[in-house]
Chains A and B, each alone.
Chain A
Amino acid sequence: MAPIVVPLPLPALPEGWEAEKDFKPVGKITQDGATQRTLEPIGPHFLAHARRARHKRTFSEDDRIQAQERAKKVEEDNDSEISEPEDPIMLQRDAKDWKTQDHYKVLGLSKYRYKATEEQIKRAHRKKVLKHHPDKKAAAGRADDDNFFKCIQKATEVLLDPVKRRQFDSVDEEANVDPPTKKQLAKGNYYKLWGNVFKSEARFSKVHPVPSFGDENSTKEEVENFYNFWYNFDSWRTFEYLDEDVPDDNENRDQKRHMERKNANARKKKKAEDNARLRKLLDDCSAGDERIKRFRQEANAAKNKKRLEREAAEKKAAEEARLKKEAEEKAAKEAEEKAKAEREANKKAKEAAKNAVKKNKRVLRGSVKDANYFVEGDAPAATIDAVLGDVELVQSKIDADEIAALAGKLNGLKVADEIKGVWKEEVERLVAAGKLKAGEVKTLVA
């Protein structure tokens, strides 16, 4: 604010007024004379207030800093962009070859290129024109030297027309960032190198903002997003700029059409090549992308974990089943063996019993023989047969135990009467038991 001028005069200093350094503090601002109110955060002066408040600057400090910044900005505006040295070869260029000239370089904007704003281009043009205007050349004694001036005009014409500028930017090789070589990548800096490549490629994107390449800490989502974006890249890059000149005379229509077709085909081909190039770029990039590997590993690890768990569970189940089966088999085998042993024991016992019966039967038969068939002298065959027949009969009527008991009784007896007594007793017992009919075995009872 410019100071307000007050025409009313100040009073004269009263007589005898004295103070240290001519300043006498008397009071202070009434403390309750201040209310807290809210400033509206609007307008340049509020911004200045906010700047002072946030950086805790006083008025004079802020004034000084602002003045410095302004001075710096003016300097930058003046030199920055358009201060590039001019290549003497470029100055010799023929304006007719405008197609091959680097428009940005002509205007001294080669470090901005596609990033140069319209404002910068206008300013650069003005500055270059001031320097290279043919009238100035004429004043310096070089009449008709307007070649570079024409170059400047052409460059400005191209760059200030959005359509033409895009066509030129499309084929502006200088702005390309080459994909890093293996050697470069070996030094690390993978993310920075590739990031720069895609930053430069992003200038062709129809869609903005373009996702950034990120760094090693990017999330999976970000990385996927990045590659999805780039694999579906929508580019405005065109190759009209490289068209061959179409003759615009009316003489040969066929020739003209032929050239146009040729150009269209060439454009199409170049576009396809460019798409393929981008795709390859992406393939190369993703092939070396540690993040993708890491995400894949992580995903695999997660998947493997599940699989291993499942396998372990299966194995355990199989083992258990096997053990169970084995135990069952063992039990079955044992049972079988036991049964077999029992069977054999039974058989032996039976055999033994049979043998014992045979033996006892022999004892029985022997006993009657010992008793000489209960006759004196040589017993006739008929008697022998009858006695043995009876013995057989008795034997058939009694079971093995009784045979054994009978044999036990008979065993050792040699005297015929005793033997006969035993037989008699036996037969009587059997008759009494109803197993034999009285009179059936006469020979033994007689």
Chain B
Amino acid sequence: MSDNGASKPGPTPGDRTVIGITFGNSNSSIAYTVDDKAEVIANEDGDRQIPTILSYVDGDEYYGQQAKNFLVRNPKNTVAYFRDFLGKEFKLIDPTHNHASAHPQETDDTVSFTIKDKEGEEAETSTLTVSEVATRYLRRLVGAASEYLGKKVTSAVITIPTNFNDKQKAALIAAAAAADLEVMQLISEPVAAVLAYDARPEAQIEDKIVVVADLGGTRSDVAVVASRGGMYTILATVHDYEFAGFALDKVLIDHFAKEFIKKHPGAGDPRENPRSLAKLRLEAESTKKALSLGSNASFSVESLINGLDFASTINRLRYETIARTVFEGFNRLVESAIKKAGLDVLDVDEVILSGGTAHTPRIAGNFRYIFPQSTRILAPSTEPTAINPSELQARGAALQASLIQEYEAEDIEQSTHAAVTTVPHITNAIGVISLSESGEEVFVPIVPPETAVPARRTVHVAAPKDGGDVLVKVVEGNTHIKVTKPEPKVKENGDSKAAKVEDADEDEADGDASDFSDDEDEEEEEKREKVWKIGSTLAEAAIRGVKKGGKVEVTINVNADLSVIVTTREVGGKGGVRGTLSA
């Protein structure tokens, strides 16, 4: 069996056992679906977030939390934070986080680690390339999943950051293949998170703009995703390697290290001893996690330095104060992503917090201040029904895996081909004109901007109270208009008292937004609204003799060539008007 080698075809759709894998730089997760619901699998140790770490002790391989504990005692033979090195050249990697574990080195064109992975005192060290390490780690993940499911897992959907290039993708697929795992598809992490929410049975498919803040251990990625009829388009992404979980750990480490030095003046700085630092780091991480759940957490390390034990506590308020700069960094990240997408916070309908660091209540709280009240902030501390942020991506991957497990590999390949995925997105909304209560003409969007075509939307619009003949005027809508309405009290920057100011300044808007978060009790607030401006008219149609209290159904079909088909009729009525606008 083993000799048909590389050309081994993937398993046939019927024989697949599929899971979703989040292969993170700090932690990984595995999930499967049961009855269309995604469940995250706990490994043998009972962990659902499995640290992406491998450790070798006397020829035995450890992974996950067990391996992480070896960072203290056996850092040289412990490989951590290697995911981002896959498919990269040595000169392009950032080895900062590997300081306290096996050090990456250059071998040929790739990155490798020198590890003693065989038994015996005199055993030779072996040089493992990062792909080999990834293969071994994935094998363990798949093993854990297979054991849990009782079936050999053959295929998986794996999530990757949006800035993975083709070489990194190829390296990941090859590493998985070496672990006997077919990669059905690589999906981007933020969209996996969106899918995890959208696949909930109670979720409604609607047109919305979602900001996914994926705050991980060593990196943070923010993506602005347009969700249009259940199809997702990434409008902008921001990647940051500074504001992430480790930065919060560092704040805690510094805090407690200083406290320790104060307590034991002669003992020295525990941050200067690698072993003490590793202990501090492990404990800081668990303290951070505890602070996400409770308002108080203890911090205790046995034999931190020179045999001195150290124990202390911290409350959440103190933590939030000392970590303030880091929290603000997350705010700036999200704001810059929205700006990069050419949008305003008012355009955002949903913010999804994903990744381990997203558990921190303060981060969600800060976002609450940035975004208007109408925006849903999906994080455990702000929304009781929110899904565990650490599990989002794995769930999304598992859902995607179950969706495509019936497809042949070739089918998947064709469906994800650029010819299918790259489509025009309209920039102007298309809608109809209605009358507001005050009798003014207002724009009712039917097809929102950034919708991928072909698209079809249907709305039911009320007819005038008395019924009769109505005019359906299909127009384009310009969305880029915001209104700045200062309170009647004069505002110091006194922008204007005008009811409507077109073309609100973006920078100012962002600045104001962060003002909110900083000075929450400021009285004089600027009121900002999103309004639609009516653009050019596309078509007019008449529906005659609508019943009293009736409704008119308007369906707009935008074809791939940007031609438009408008169909309108009275709800429940027959006939109707149908017309085509050529591209």
Report A's interface with B, CB cutoff 8 A. 1-14, 17, 19, 21-31, 33-47, 49-54, 58-59, 207-209, 211, 221, 225, 229
Contacts and interface: CB of A to CB of B under 8 A. Distances in A.
Contacts of B566: 23
Contacts of A37: 233, 235, 422-425, 450, 452
Given A1-B206, A17-B542, A10 B232 contact: no
A36 B560 CA distance: 11
B471 interface: yes
A54 B414 contact: yes
6 contacts: A4-B459, A5-B462, A11-B435, A39-B231, A42-B195, A50-B416
A165 to B, nearest CB: 14
Interface in B225-239: 225, 229-235
B544 A13 contact: yes
A23 B434 contact: no
B461 A42 contact: no
B427 A34 contact: yes
Contacts of B198: 43
Contacts of B205: 1, 45
B423 A39 contact: yes
A209 B182 CA distance: 14
Given A21-B579, A41-B421, A8 B442 contact: yes
Interface string B230-259: 111111000000000000000000000000
Contact of B577 (A23, A33, A51): A23
Nearest to B418: A38
Nearest to A222: B4
A9 B583 contact: no
Residue with the highest number of chain A CB atoms closer than 10 Å, among B195, B396, B404, B421: B421
Contact of A13 (B416, B420, B453, B469): B469
A34 B462 contact: no
A33 B476 CA distance: 10
Contacts of A58: 454, 557
Contacts of B420: 41, 49-50, 53-54
Given A22-B543, A59-B454, 10 more contacts: A1-B457, A8-B434, A8-B436, A10-B432, A12-B470, A28-B583, A29-B426, A37-B422, A42-B400, A53-B423
A40 B580 CA distance: 29
Contacts of A225: 1, 3-4
Contacts of A7: 462
A46 B231 contact: yes
Contacts of A209: 1, 11, 15
Contacts, number: 250
Interface stretch (B90-98, B112-120, B294-302, B531-539): B531-539
A59 B557 contact: yes
B452 A49 contact: yes
Given A34-B427, A38-B418, A54-B414, A10 B552 contact: yes
A228 to B, nearest CB: 8
A31 B539 contact: no
Contacts of A47: 403-404, 415
Given A6-B434, A29-B581, A12 B471 contact: yes
Given A28-B538, A30-B536, A23 B578 contact: yes
B551 interface: yes
Contacts of A1: 205-206, 229-230, 457-458
A41 B185 contact: yes
Contacts of A46: 230-232
B542 A19 contact: yes
Given A12-B469, A33-B428, A229-B1, A28 B581 contact: yes
Nearest to A57: B454
Nearest to A234: B1
A207 B1 contact: yes
Contacts of A38: 233-234, 418, 421-422
Nearest to A52: B454
A25 B563 CA distance: 12
B583 to A, nearest CB: 7
B339 interface: no
Nearest to A18: B542
Interface stretch (B122-130, B186-194, B359-367, B482-490): B186-194
A44 B404 CA distance: 9
B471 A6 contact: no
B540 A36 contact: no
A24 B233 CA distance: 33
